[in-house]
Structure 1
Amino acid sequence: MATSHPEYNEKTSATDVASAFASQIHNKIVVITGVGPNSLGEALALAIGGQKPSKLILASRTEAKLLEVAEKVQKLSPNVSVEAVVLNLASQKSVHTAASKIQSLVDRVDTLINNAGMMVLDRQTTEEGIEVQFGTNHIGHFLFTNLLMPQLKNAAKVSGPGLTRIINVTSAGHRLSPIRFHDYNFEGKKVPIEERPPEGLPPMFSPSAEGYNGWLAYGQSKAANILFTVYLSQHLANSGIVSYSVHPGSIWTGLSRDLDDAGYETISKTSNVWKNADQGAATMLVAAYDPALAAVSDPSAIYLSDCQFAKTAPHAVNADSAERLFRLSEELVGIKFAL
């Protein structure tokens, strides 16, 4: 499987991708999470907003920052309807409230871009007591996506197969850890070998005496983003909805706001190519709007990086793990979802 623009790469901008796929964006209703000033979410909103979508719904936890971006989009694209919805993914109550607000605004969602993410080094938990990176990066988006499923299915009924899409933003960091089904909260419980991190990682990736390591917890949450995509792509094909998972590349964003000096040093060594936000958002728009991606032919072919398909760690595309993660996620939100 290939994209329709093999020349796109790490230098391609979201602005250029949106322009190339303008006809796919025109009149669409788009929901983007993780929107704030100088972020990937802002870059997405500006690029999409410039191509005449029907409505842009921007969701994030800080209303003032949301409104700042909404006003910027509105100024540059005055004919686009822009809505700001407060969404704290670390609170399931907030997720329910945000989803209800969106359902009151629109009866369909053509594109859902689950872009929000966080990375912390010290143990924190969500309102429900879930390790905060797993709880925010995966569980929050899991609940949000499933609550909006009626709107997504409504869109697919009128748009045609493969034009309604769910984009889950992940990271190359997914390679650091599979899902620790026996210890997803990193509480020091014993896990089988297949749930342990890969061998040969530097000492900084070793769990503390209490069992926690922020890097591994981040890796687990990013593996979860891809496995969720695998499950969605398998179970929504008959509804005409496709899902892709995207690694934006290396970008200095608010994601790294909680890192210490050692964390910054580690991150700085992870890439030789550093992107600006417009370049970082480009792969998400290829996944969301490239007509060549209207079907998933292979459940493992759902991951893109630098605007092209890429390989994941095997643990991130295991169909059994995807099924198991979906069931665990249902338990953690207290709702069964029949796709």
Structure 2
Amino acid sequence: MGPAADRGQETTGIEVAEAFKNVIKSKTVLITGVSPKSLGESTALAIARHRPAKLILASRTESKLQQVADGIAQVDSSLEVELIVINLSSQADIHDAAGKVRALTDRLDILINNAAVVTSARGETTEGIELQFGTNHVGHHLLTSLLMPLLLAGAEASGEPGTTRIVNVSSLGYRLSPIRFHDYNFEGKPVPPEEEPPAGIPSHMKPDAAAGRPYYAFTAYGQSKTANMLHAVALKEKLSCKGIQAFAVHPGSIWTDLSRNLSEEDLKIIEGTSTFWKDQDQGCATTIAAAFDPDLCGAKQAFLSDCHLEDVAEYAKDSVIAEKLWQLSEELTGESAKL
């Protein structure tokens, strides 16, 4: 494909991976949320074409992981692929999975935090954290912290600052909510105006404790996606000096198995949110650009959409808010990253 300026909403992951094939070669890559008909699958398949040293695929269901591994074998049967079963809504399970990763490799070059859940009904993680925040952000925060020694080893071994990367798959759905520090669990506690959904969000798309609706699915999803972005901001500030870059990405509007737990009413809302729907290959393009584009080695911004850096609302990029979320995440996990 042509220069970076030519990349846009129709660019495919296969095209981006081809452009950066020399960067992908010999990298050890871990991707969460890998299952058939998912962005994790398309991301793994595009990377697998270009001789990474090792692909570590992580997801909840071993049989689904194996289906993706079988597809990769058709691309390159000699490629080393490792499968890790992980439930990101259980911190004990995350600790167990991280231990298995450490037994497989002494370094990580690329960590792609791709897994996510969206659900119309309020749920909780094993630890009692609201399910979308607890899985999409807190689970990935913990996993990233536990794998930090491998990422630091990758950065030291590469000798090329900024090529070791952490990529969080976020969404422009972040626009639906900042972090609700006073009620991140959606228990109906009062929150200050700056933690409410931004102006312009319809009243029927907001929590309303007074009306007996302390939880709303898309507000919870928006909070978790804002958290993915702030996590990248904090990682960038803490790790740039150690040769590690961090980004959050918007994959675009795309139908995947992610929507399987939404009600018919919520599915109809999503149907009206975009005029351009990407396929799976187009949906992984920005993730692959964030992971491998050499031009991003010194980038100050943390968010990409359609393969390009993009500015975002202040509540999703403010370093003070990012640090506040970091501290909350460490409290919720009882784990401090060894930086």
Deviation at 1:337, TM superposition (A): 2.4
Give the conservation status (yes or no) of the 8 Å contact 1:164–1:241: yes
The answer on 1:161 being equivalent to 2:161 is yes
Please identify, of 204-213 and 54-63, the stretch whose mean Cα deviation from structure 2 is larger: 204-213
Offset, 1:264: 1.1
Q: CA RMSD in A?
A: 1.1
Match of 1:231 among 231, 234, 237: 234
Paired with 2:299 and 2:238, the residues of 1 have a C-alpha distance of 11
Quote how far apart the aligned CAs of 1:205 are.
1.1
* Counterpart in the other structure of 1:199: 199
Task: Return the match for 1:213 from 213, 216, 239.
Answer: 216
Q: Which runs of 5+ in 1 are unaligned?
A: none
The correspondence of residues 126-165 of structure 1 with structure 2, limited to 5 A, is 126-159=125-158, 160-165=160-165
**Count of aligned pairs between the two proteins:** 334
Q: Which amino acid aligns with 1:313?
A: A
- 2:336 is aligned to 336
Q: Do the aligned residues in 2 keep the contact of 1:187 with 1:211 (CA within 8 Å)?
A: yes
Q: 3-state SS of the aligned residue for 2:4?
A: coil
Does the 8 Å contact 1:187/1:210 carry over to 2?
Answer: no
Q: Is the 8 A contact 1:52 1:79 kept in 2?
A: no
CA contact (8 A) 2:42 2:284 kept: yes
For 1:111-122, list aligned pairs within 5 A.
Answer: 111-122=110-121
Aligned counterparts, 1:293-304, within 5 A? 293-297=296-300, 301-304=301-304
Aligned counterparts of 1:337 and 1:289: Cα–Cα separation in 2: 24
TM-score, normalization: structure 1?
A: 0.97
Percent identical pairs in the alignment equals: 51
* 1:67-97 Cα deviation digits (max 9, x unpaired): 1101110221112100110011000011111
Q: Which residue of 2 aligns with 1:271?
A: 274
The 3 A distance-change label for structure 1 pair 111 and 242 is same
Whole-angstrom distance in 1 between the partners of 2:266 and 2:83:
32
**Alignment partners' CA distance in 1, 2:16 and 2:228:** 23
User: Residue 30 of structure 1 aligns with which residue?
Assistant: 29
Q: CA deviation at 1:338?
A: 4.2
Question: Is 1:85 equivalent to 2:84 in the alignment?
Answer: yes
Query: In the alignment, which of 245, 262, 270 is matched to residue 248 of structure 2?
Result: 245
Find the counterpart in structure 2 of residue 125 from structure 1.
124
Give TM-score scaled by structure 2 length.
Answer: 0.97
Distance in 1 between residues matched to 2:204 and 2:244, nearest whole Å: 40
| Residue aligned with 2:89, SS | coil
* Distance in structure 1 (CA, Å) of the matches to 2:239 and 2:118: 30
- CA shift, 1:307, in A, is 1.1
| CA drift at 1:333 | 0.4
**Matched position secondary structure for 1:257:** helix
Correspondence list, 1:169-180, <5 A:
169-180=169-180
Could you tell me whether the CA contact under 8 Å between 2:149 and 2:338 is conserved in 1? Answer: no
Does 1:41 find its partner at 2:44?
Answer: no
Are the counterparts in 1 of residues 148 and 337 from structure 2 also a CA contact under 8 Å?
no
CA distance in 1 between counterparts of 2:215 and 2:29 reads 37
Residue pair 1:4, 1:290 contacting (<8 A) in 2 also: no
Work out whether residues 25 and 52 of structure 2, in 8 Å CA contact, stay in contact via their aligned partners in 1: yes
Q: 1:211, CA displacement in angstroms?
A: 1.0
Alpha-carbon contact 1:4-1:291 (below 8 Å) kept: no
Q: Is 1:184 equivalent to 2:184 in the alignment?
A: yes
**1:272-295 residue CA offsets vs partner (Å, 9 max, x unmatched):** 110000000000011010000012
Matched, 1:258 2:257: no
